[in-house]
Chain A
Amino acid sequence: MARFTEQNEALARQIISRYPVVKSATIPLCHLAQEQDGHLTEDAMEHIAELLGLAPAEVLGTASFYEMFKRQPVGKYVINVCTSISCFLNGGDELLEHAEERLGLKAGGTTDDGVFTIEGYECIAACTEAPCLQVNYRYFHKISNGEFDQLIEDLRAGRRNDIPPHGTLALTRQRIDPERLAGVAPPDRSEQPVWIREAPALQDSAPSS
């Protein structure tokens, strides 16, 4: 139940600085908070509101619209089994049923040890690879029941270090060297970009090397 750590607050300020209007950083900061704590806490939402000059209710209002923001603790590994049309046609329901049996819970539930949460999920854009699932939003294509069991064992035994705990999405962050930054374009700065003119930006017409 935490506000941002000092390090994450610095990161949050960096993220905010990239947007012409700070409220745009709401979703990125909610992701950052979820990465820190595994789910999105009230303290974190209050801290985000402070950083963005919003009421905490505005942050909650936005966050509560989006399925990925978990306002209650979830398992270390959130498993989304796709049951949308293409997976439905290719055994997605059966895979979800097997997963529920294997973990002894119903979709939406979390195992008592807090390791796994399982969800029936809508289309995750792997339709040609049905049936498919995600563990913390990392893909597993054409999964058989046996492969599912193996995956569960591997995760439990700590053999899948490539999958970070729930809350962490990309392992690489965008970094912009201040020297290379073009700069934000605030909506109230009504300037025609300098390159909009009759002449090309690159005058050199020699073939590139």
Chain B
Amino acid sequence: MITDAQPIITTRFGYDDSHMLERFLATGGYEGLRAALRKPPAQVSDDVKTASLLGRGGAGFPAGVKWGFCPADVWPRYLVVNGDESEPGTYKDRMLMERDPHQLIEGCLIACYAVGLSQAFLYVRGEMALAQERIATALNEAYAAGYVGKNILGTDFSVDIILHWGAGAYIVGEETGLIESLEGNRGMPRLKPPYFPAVLGLYNKPTIVNNVETLANLPYIASNGGDAFAKLGAEASKGTRMFAVSGHVNKPGVYEVEFGVTTFRDLIEAPIYCGGVRGGKQLKAFIPGGASAPWFYEEHLDLPLEKAMVDKAGSMLGSGAIVVMDEDTDVVKACHRIVRFFAKESCGKCTPCREGTSWLEKILQRIIDGYGRPQDVDLLLDVCDNISPGINWPPRQTTICPLGPSAVSPIASAVSRFRHEFEAYIGGPVETTVEMRGLAYKAPEPAGA
């Protein structure tokens, strides 16, 4: 359903000077901070809980709940902003950082005030020079104007926001990898438990790691209350959300839509959004939530962009990245392209991922090059099964973080639905013995079931 819900976080995108303090202040900027500071910190946290703001980074964990995991009386606590957007297909955090850096800064301040975070680190992906520049300029403006730093708005709330750049490593998007990187180390994820950096994070102190889009929603929530935010959306998915739709559509773009009610079909087909598959072609498959997500098909189009429903249907909304593939897409090559990414970006800490993803890539390359063997597809699944036992959804993992299992999704999707394309490459029928459980193709349940 396409609704007339007003955007929350992209409201300034229409202005050429949307990144400047003057424009920000003229359009309600830092009013959310003021509203937050007029409440006791605990009440601001409660508002975020009421809003049921799901993390917008990929895992979709409720931000307010995450904040609550900080152990009482352990100080200092830190904020680490995850601006390391790199999941293939994902394009929204860069936009928020380039076009409305003050909104992000305001979100950081509200989080710091609410949870008692004594210092904030804004970790921006290394490859995003313009975002770094815009945020540096915005921070300089905000410091000078008294919005960041010592005695913010004349109160005793004081916090520094330190801009920090990465240097090219997808894995630091994983929150413990991000913390390792921020500590000056190789960005390798930490062993769990503890599962949440809120318990043990940066410098082994409680640390809140939030995604850029998540934080960008806080000024609205602080100004309008958690209830107003939770009025938008459906089920477990409240507010609005940015989705980047790329691939074979007429009007690829990043759209902020009401979360939980807008459907995949709305986004892909509606003239105000993507206007359908390019060249009047048929849809072959689409990735609903970034390269790690199992693929969806024509019959999933009417699912709403709602976390619980998409999870139940066997995939995820992940990082809000929808990639559309038309009928002419070579599925084996598309699958290889995604797996290659995970093979390149594996940090090398866990054997199943380090070895498994690169073997998956090599086998797929061999198939594409015309040297595929009849047993290769089974071999692919066998490697998948070693990385993620049972080839299930949600994935089980033999690794510290979900990067390895992410390479399993595209293979399971491609093999279970388009086995004939592998057979065409290999030049004969393909038998498989490895069982795919949750990731085997299944039709979505009819609406209302």
Please, which residues of chain A bring their CB within 8 A of the CB of B76? Answer: 185-187, 189-191, 193
Measured as residues with beta carbon below 8 angstroms from the partner, the interface class of chain B is 35 or more
How many residues on the A side are at the interface (Cβ–Cβ under 8 A)?
A: 78
Asked if A123 meets B334 with Cβ closer than 8 Å, knowing A89-B248, A181-B150, the reply is: no
B156 with A195: CB separation less than 8 A:
yes
User: What does the 1/0 interface line of A170-183 toward B look like (CB < 8 Å)?
Assistant: 11111111011111
Interface string of A38-70 (1 = CB under 8 A from B): 000000000000001000000001110111110
Chain A residues within 8 Å of B168, by CB? 66-69
By a CB distance below 8 angstroms, the chain A residues around B323 are 85-86, 89, 127
A-B contact count (CB 8 A): 255
A68 touching B126, Cβ below 8 Å: yes
Contact B129 A27 (CB under 8 A): no
CB distance from A151 to the nearest CB of B (A): 16
Q: Contact check, A21 vs B156: say whether CB atoms are below 8 A apart.
A: no
A76: interface (CB < 8 Å): no
Which residues from chain B contact A20 at a C-beta distance below 8 Å? 119, 203
The residues in B between 312 and 360 inclusive whose CB is less than 8 angstroms from any CB of A are 321, 323, 325, 329, 333-334, 337-338, 341, 344-345, 347
Identity of the chain B residue whose Cβ is nearest the Cβ of A199 in the assembled complex = B40
Q: Please determine whether B167 and A31 come into contact, CB atoms closer than 8 angstroms.
A: yes
- Encode contact with A along B142-158: 1 for CB under 8 Å, 0 otherwise: 01101011100101111
Q: Smallest Cβ distance from A33 to chain B, in angstroms?
A: 12
User: Is the C-beta of A103 less than 8 angstroms from some C-beta in chain B?
Assistant: no
Q: How far is the CA of A200 from the CA of B39 in the complex (A)?
A: 5
CA A57 to CA B234, docked complex, whole Å:
52
Chain A 146-180 interface mask (CB, 8 Å, partner B; 1/0)? 00000000000000000000000111111111011
Considering the chains assembled together, what is the distance between the CA atoms of A125 and B341 in angstroms?
14
- The 10 tightest CB contacts between A and B, nearest first, are A67-B168, A26-B184, A66-B167, A185-B118, A23-B184, A170-B132, A187-B203, A202-B37, A127-B246, A68-B168
28 A–B contacts from the bound complex (CB under 8 Å): A23-B183, A23-B185, A52-B184, A69-B167, A85-B338, A122-B341, A123-B87, A125-B90, A127-B252, A128-B91, A169-B129, A169-B133, A170-B133, A170-B165, A172-B140, A173-B136, A177-B143, A181-B160, A184-B160, A186-B76, A189-B75, A191-B76, A195-B116, A195-B157, A196-B116, A199-B40, A201-B155, A204-B38
